[in-house]
Structure 1
C-alpha cells in the first residue's frame, strides 16, 4: 500500500466514524460520480488492487451507507491530490521552458560552498568513532528505523530506487500537492503514487537555480543518481546507529546532484575514469576504485535477484571462471574491467566482493583507441587489472587517483605466478649467485653456462669460425691464382735485351716473370726502376686482395648455412625474501624493486629441471664417511675438468641438498648455480680454505688414505638396497659455512679418479 493513501484513508475514516455523520445524498449524485470516475481513471495508479484491499479492511466495521461515503471521499481526495501533482508538474515544465530561453549564470550550491570554504571537516572514520563497516540484517536495520527498502538497494538496482515521500515530508506538504522545495531551490514533484525516482530528481535538478539544462542530460543525472543512492544506502546499512535517516533522503540526494553539477559542469573538474576514457590521462597511475558489479562472460547483463543484500552476496559467491569481467567505479562513473585468473579465483572464494575498494597501479585501457564519454563507452572498452598490482584499499579511502602516483610496494609472499607485472615489491637480498650466460640454441633449447664455460664456448665458436673462413679463403686464393696464371707476351720477351730501357712498372714486372732468373734481373735495375716495380706490385696486391674479398663475400652469400652470431644473454640470479616488520632487520639492505615480471612456478621448475646426464662424484673422509655429489651435465658443463684433479683442494659453493632415498649415500646436487674454485675470493671461504689447508696431511699420506677409503666405498656401492646416511663431521664451525676434507671418486667411464675436496654449503 502506498503510504500517503493510508494517510488519507485513516484520517478520514476516523473523522467520519467518530462523528457518526450520515452521508450527504447530494454528494453522491450522478454528476459528481462521473467527475470522480474521470479523475480516478485518468490516474490509473490509484486503482491498484492493494489500495482497494486496504480500503475494504478499514471500512469493514462501518455501516454500508457510511462505507460508501468514505470510499468516495477517499477516492475524491486521491484524485484531487493527483490532479494537484499534475498541475505542479505542468507548472514545472513551464518554468523549465521559460528558463531554457534565458541565459543561466552559474550559481554554486550550498554543499559546494561549504566544502570550498576550507573549514575543518570531520573525516568519515572519526564520524563513526573508528568503527569498520559491519553487515546488519534486515530486522536489525528496521529496529534502527531504516527504510524498509534499504536492503533491496544494490549497485544494479540503485538507479530504479524510488523514495516514498510520505516517509520524508509532512502531511501538510503532502496534502498540498505542490511539490517540495528542497535545498538550493530545487522543486521535487513526486509522481501520482507519492514516490520520487530518477526522473523526478532530474526535473528537480533542472529546476534548481544556476543549472543550465542545455548542459545537462538525463543520462548524466541517472548515472549520478545511481551511484549516490548506492553510496548513501551503504552508509546507512553499514553504520545504522549513526546514519539511519540522515543519508538516504531526497534533500541530500538533490544536494549531492547539484554539487556534482557544480564540480563537473561549472568547474570542469573530471573524475579519474572520465579522464582516462576521454584519453586525457593515463590509467597506469595509482588508482582507488570500487568493485561495483560482477559481469560473467556467458551473461554480460545478469538479472538481479529480487532484491536483497543476502541475494547479492549469494550472487557474488557463484563460480567465476578465468577472464571474468567486472565493473569498477570511481564514485562518479563506472567502467568494465578485465581481471586475470588470480583475481577471478579471489572472487570465487569470496575474498573479493562487491562493495570493496581496490588500489591498483599499472592498469591498461584496452578494447578501443578512440576517446569517448564514459556514458557512451562501448562494451569492448575495459581496464585490464593484474593481481600483482592490485590490493584491497581501506574502506574509507577516497576514490579516484591516489595522492601518490608512484607504484605501491607489495609483500613478496602475496605475489602470484600468473598475476602479471609486479610494479613494486619490498625484499631483502639473501644471496647473489655468480653471473651466468644463457644461450638460445637454433633448436630452441636453452643452455646455461658459468663464466669459465662461457669463455671456453665463445673461444671454441670463434676458433671454429676462424678456421672455416681461413679454409674458404685459402680455397678461393688457390682458385684465383690458378685462374690468373698467365705467360708473358712475346713483346715482353723482346725487352729482356733492353731491360735498362724499361721505366714502366708493368713492363718491368712482365720482364721479370719472363726471365729465367728474376732475382738477377731485379739486381740489375736502378733505384727508379725498383721504385716503379714496387709500386706496381702494390697495385697488383691491392687488386688481388679486393678481388679475393669480393669472391669471399660472394661465396659466403651462396652458402646455405651461414654461421650466425650466438644468442647469448647474461643472467644474474639472486635469492630474495620478503619481510613483514622492517624493524626486525636493522643494518640490512632493503630494496624496492620495480616492474618485475612474474612467472608460473611450474614453468620455472621445468626450466631448471636437469635434462643433461648427471655425473656422480663420491666424496669421502678418512673415517669412511661418504657423500655423493651429482653434477648436472658433468664437470664439463661447468668447465671444471682442470680443477677436479688428484690432490687438489677444491671449493664448491651453491650446492643443494637433495635428500635422495634411493641412494646409499647422502646426496648433494650441483646445478647451474654451482661454482668451483681452487682459490676462493670470498672472505669467509678464504678463511675456511686457509684453515683446511693447515689440516690437510702431507702429500705422501694421500695414497695411503685413498687405499683405506676405496674398499668401504666399493662395498657401499655394491649394496644399493641399504640406505646409509652418514654425515661428514665439519672441520670448522661457521654460522653459514660447513667445510669438509673429502676424497672424490668419479664414476664417469671406467676410470677412477681421486682427489681431495672441500665443500662449502652456505
Structure 2
C-alpha cells in the first residue's frame, strides 16, 4: 500500500472498494461517516481496488470485489479477497514436526509411518520400565493393613467387600476362601474387578504423566502443497494448506479451475508467489480446464541431454517426471553426504538424481535398488542441471519414488518399458550401459596419487649435486599426470547471465562510452 501511495495511485480523495477489513479498538458502535478517533480499520492491499468516482460510499452486504487474477496478487499485500486459478499440481501430504534439536522436519507418508513406529517402540519400552514401579505405588494405596485375627473369628458374618478382599490378600491362604459363602465370594470378585479397573486406569494416567517428562510429546501438523497457475499469463503460485481435511482434498484435483476466497500472500520463494490458507478460506470448483497444456507428462531422458544451462522446453515449474532403470547408486562417505542415484533407459541415456542425505531419510531405500525399474516424479530441475555430461536433478520432500505407479501418465509408459525388459537382450544392454557409466564417472574423478610414481635411489654422493629446482621437479613427477577438467556449469539464476555480451562502450550512460565520444570530438 505504501508503494501505491508513493506512486500516486492512491491519494487523498480516492475511493476504494475494500473487502474483509478488520476494525481495531471498536469501543463503541459508530456511523461509518462519523468515526471516532480511536477506531481504525485494518486493510489488506490485495483486498482493495479503486472504485469509480461516482460510487456511493457505505457498507455493502454482498462481496464488493470480483475475482482477481493470480498475476495481480502482491506478494506482501496480505489477504486476497477472491481469486480463481488452475490447479496444475497436487503434491503428497507432508507432516511437519520438531526433532530433538528443535529443528523443523518435513516427512512424507512413508517416512512418517517409519518415524511413528520408531517412536511407539521407544515409548512402549520406557512405559514397561515404569509399569512395575507405578503398579506397586498404586497397589499400596488401595491395600489396608487390618487385624486378620480379629476379623477371622466372625468371617462368616462379614459383608464389607473391602475387608474381605484385604483379608484374602494378606493371608494368601486358599483355606480362607473356603470359609466364605457363595454370596461373600461374589462380593469379593465384584470388588476385585472394580479395584483392578481403577488401579489400571490410575497406572495408565500416572505413566502418561511421567512419560511426558521422559519423552516429550510430539506435535505433528499436516500440510498440503498445491501449485496454481494463471491460465492467461501463466503466472505460478504455491499454495500451502495447513491441516487439510478430506473434503478439501476431494475438491483440489489437478487440471481443475478452483475459486479461492481469503487466501493470504506471504512473499515469494525462488521467484514463485507463496500463498497460505486462513480460517476463512473457502474452496469452490468452477470448471475443468479444456486444454492439456498443464497436464503431467513423462519426460524422456533424450530431452534432457542437449539443453545446457537452460531448462527443457515445455517444463512446468522446473519439475520433471521420469521412468528409468537404476544402474548405480553412489553412497556418501559420511552420514550427511550427497547420495546420487543414476538411472538409464534402453537407449543408453543417463540421468542423475541427487539426494542431500541418505536414501533412508527419504524412505526410498527399498524402492531405489540396482536393476529395478522405478517411476520418479516431482523431481526438481535447477539452473545448470543440464550443463553436466549427465543431467542432474534433485530430490525434495515432495518427490515420489515408486515401482507401482498409480498416475495414469506413468502407468502407460511404465508398462511399455516393463514389457521390453522381459527380453534377454535387454539385460546385456543394461550391463553395457552400466560399464559405460562407470567409465564416464571414472574420467571425472581425480586419479590416485602415486599411480605414476618414478622410483629412484638417492645416495649421499648425488644429493649434493641436486639443485632445489630439480628437487621440486622430481617431486612433481611422482604425482602423475593431472586429470581432465570437468565441465563448469553456470548455477546463477539471474536471467542476465544468459543474455548476449554487450560491450561497455555501447551501453548508454557508460563512462567508457563518454570517454570514447570525447576522444572522437
User: What's the TM-score bracket when you normalise by the shorter of the two chains?
Assistant: 0.5 to 0.7
Give the unaligned 5+ runs of structure 2. Answer: 235-253, 276-335, 446-484, 490-521
Q: CA deviation at 1:412?
A: 0.5
Aligned pairs for 1:253-332 (under 5 A) are: none
Q: Which has the higher contact order (CA 8 A, sep 6+)?
A: 2
* 1:510–1:691 distance in 2 versus 1, CA, 3 Å: same
Task: Return the structure number with greater strand share.
Answer: 2
Q: CA deviation at 1:701?
A: 6.4
Q: CA deviation at 1:617?
A: 1.8
SS in 2 for 1:722: coil
* Separation in 2, partners of 1:604, 1:440: 27
* 1:711–1:567 distance in 2 versus 1, CA, 3 Å: same
Q: Which residue of 1 aligns with 2:188?
A: 536
Give the unaligned 5+ runs of structure 1. Answer: 1-342, 726-762
Among 47, 51, 64, the residue aligned to 1:389: 47
Indicate conservation of the 8 Å contact 1:624/1:712, yes or no.
no
1:628 aligns with 2:352: yes
SS in 1 for 2:213: coil
* Separation in 2, partners of 1:362, 1:559: 45
Indicate the structure (1 or 2) with the bigger Cα radius of gyration. 1
* 1:489–1:437 distance in 2 versus 1, CA, 3 Å: same
Once the two structures are overlaid, the 10-residue window that deviates more, 379-388 or 664-673, is: 379-388
SS in 1 for 2:361: coil
Once the two structures are overlaid, the 10-residue window that deviates more, 343-352 or 398-407, is: 398-407
* Separation in 2, partners of 1:344, 1:483: 69
> How far does the alpha carbon of each residue in 1:248-284 deviate from its partner, in whole angstroms, 9 at most, with x for none?
xxxxxxxxxxxxxxxxxxxxxxxxxxxxxxxxxxxxx
* 1:566–1:603 distance in 2 versus 1, CA, 3 Å: farther
* Separation in 2, partners of 1:367, 1:485: 60
Q: Which residue of 1 aligns with 2:417?
A: 692
Q: Which residue of 2 aligns with 1:572?
A: 224
Q: Which residue of 2 aligns with 1:754?
A: none
Indicate conservation of the 8 Å contact 1:431/1:576, yes or no.
yes
Q: Which residue of 1 aligns with 2:93?
A: 435
* Separation in 1, partners of 2:27, 2:144: 72
Indicate conservation of the 8 Å contact 1:664/1:717, yes or no.
no
Q: CA deviation at 1:475?
A: 2.8
* 1:405–1:548 distance in 2 versus 1, CA, 3 Å: closer
* 1:484–1:627 distance in 2 versus 1, CA, 3 Å: same
Q: Which residue of 1 aligns with 2:262?
A: 595
SS in 1 for 2:266: coil
Alignment TM-score, normalising by the size of structure 1:
0.40
> How far does the alpha carbon of each residue in 1:448-482 deviate from its partner, in whole angstroms, 9 at most, with x for none?
22222223333333343333323311333356679
Q: Which residue of 2 aligns with 1:643?
A: 367
* Separation in 1, partners of 2:168, 2:23: 82
Once the two structures are overlaid, the 10-residue window that deviates more, 677-686 or 561-570, is: 561-570
* 1:556–1:578 distance in 2 versus 1, CA, 3 Å: closer
* Separation in 2, partners of 1:456, 1:700: 39
Let me know the Cα RMSD of the aligned residues.
4.8
Q: Which residue of 1 aligns with 2:293?
A: none
> How far does the alpha carbon of each residue in 1:63-97 deviate from its partner, in whole angstroms, 9 at most, with x for none?
xxxxxxxxxxxxxxxxxxxxxxxxxxxxxxxxxxx
* Separation in 1, partners of 2:141, 2:6: 81
* Separation in 2, partners of 1:378, 1:507: 77
Alignment TM-score, normalising by the size of structure 2:
0.56
Indicate conservation of the 8 Å contact 2:143/2:166, yes or no.
no
* Separation in 1, partners of 2:144, 2:41: 78
1:676 aligns with 2:401: yes
> How far does the alpha carbon of each residue in 1:464-504 deviate from its partner, in whole angstroms, 9 at most, with x for none?
33333233113333566799999998849999xxx9x9998
> How far does the alpha carbon of each residue in 1:595-628 deviate from its partner, in whole angstroms, 9 at most, with x for none?
00110114998999xxx86532222345553221
Indicate conservation of the 8 Å contact 2:338/2:358, yes or no.
yes
Q: Which residue of 1 aligns with 2:123?
A: 465
Aligned pairs for 1:362-401 (under 5 A) are: 362-366=20-24, 369-372=27-30, 377=35, 381-394=39-52, 397-400=55-58
* Separation in 2, partners of 1:607, 1:597: 9
Aligned pairs for 1:6-45 (under 5 A) are: none
* 1:682–1:603 distance in 2 versus 1, CA, 3 Å: closer
Q: CA deviation at 1:640?
A: 2.0
* 1:458–1:603 distance in 2 versus 1, CA, 3 Å: farther
* 1:603–1:463 distance in 2 versus 1, CA, 3 Å: farther
Indicate conservation of the 8 Å contact 1:654/1:673, yes or no.
yes
Indicate conservation of the 8 Å contact 1:472/1:552, yes or no.
no
* Separation in 1, partners of 2:201, 2:398: 44
* Separation in 2, partners of 1:606, 1:635: 30
* Separation in 1, partners of 2:200, 2:96: 37
Indicate conservation of the 8 Å contact 1:632/1:672, yes or no.
no
* 1:421–1:375 distance in 2 versus 1, CA, 3 Å: closer
Q: CA deviation at 1:572?
A: 1.9
SS in 1 for 2:362: coil
Among 77, 87, 91, the residue aligned to 1:419: 77
* Separation in 1, partners of 2:424, 2:178: 72
SS in 2 for 1:576: strand
Once the two structures are overlaid, the 10-residue window that deviates more, 649-658 or 431-440, is: 431-440
* Separation in 1, partners of 2:116, 2:197: 29
Indicate conservation of the 8 Å contact 2:339/2:357, yes or no.
yes
Aligned pairs for 1:178-189 (under 5 A) are: none
**Alignment size in residue pairs:** 368
Task: Return the structure number with greater helix share.
Answer: 1
* 1:606–1:664 distance in 2 versus 1, CA, 3 Å: farther
